[in-house]
Amino acid sequence: MKKLLVLACLAASVSMTSGTAMADSIKGRLGLTGKIGMLVPADSDYRDSRIKPDVGFVGGGGLLYGIDDHFAAEIDVTRTEFGSDFPRSGSAGDFGITDIAIGMQYRFEVAHKKLVPYVGAGLDILLSDYDHPSGSRHDVDTTVGIHGRGGVDYFIHKQVAVMAELNLLSALDTDIKNSTGAQGNFNPSSVSSIVGFRLFFN
């Protein structure tokens, strides 16, 4: 992740000294996205006790392809990890989620060609894990969800854009299990705010 951020900074520095050519369309272009942000998870439960999650960091990347002047296809893979607590009895352990998101964007045309707002939606495959504070082995079933997002790309060069995005994820609850069976329900739904960059290859 640090290497991706350094690459973005270098690309931005080069672009500021090499001209002002900007792109208002990504039609037929492939872009690499790198992103990092904050994620607010939903509550879950374990043995009839509510689990209150902490705010977590989220980071990852993906690919974006411009189908035409307005529509783009994207695939992202992100990872988040966060702690949690039982309200009256301390730590409830740590959760992790790997989110494989496949979706579409609609990109708006505005007068300011450097600035491209967008909205998007798609399907998520959620691979989760759980470290119980007792150290005993627990598994979390894979589940699915849907996301909706809105954001903006700001092109600092034809090949480089910085981005900011708000993402809403609604997912099906899934079982938390140990060797004796289901012990609770994990809800991977969340709200996240993200910043990052896009590097286009053509």
pLDDT in tens, 2-55: 444 444 444 444 444 333 445 568 999 999 999 999 999 999 999 889 999 999
Cβ contact 13:160 at 8 Å:
no
Give me the pLDDT at residue 137, please. Answer: 78
Q: Which amino acid is at 130?
A: Y
pLDDT at 20: 42
CA–CA distance, 121 with 133 (Å, rounded to integer): 36
CATH of residue 83: 2.40.160.20
Residue type, 3: K
Q: What is the mean pLDDT of the chain?
A: 89
Give the whole-angstrom CA distance, residue 127 versus residue 139.
10
Give the pLDDT confidence of 159-176 residue by residue, as tens digits.
Answer: 999 999 999 999 999 999
Beta-sheet pairing, 115-131 with 90-107: antiparallel
d(CA 40, CA 16): 35
Number of Cβ within 10 Å of residue 83's Cβ equals 16
Q: Tell me the H-state helices in the chain.
A: 2-18
| 39: containing domain | 2-200
Residue type, 196: G
Q: How many domains does the chain have?
A: 1
Q: Which two tokens stand for residue 122?
A: 């798609």
Q: Which residue has the tokens 């409830």?
A: 92
Here the tokens at position 49 are: 């006790």
Strands 190-200 and 30-41: what pairing?
Answer: antiparallel
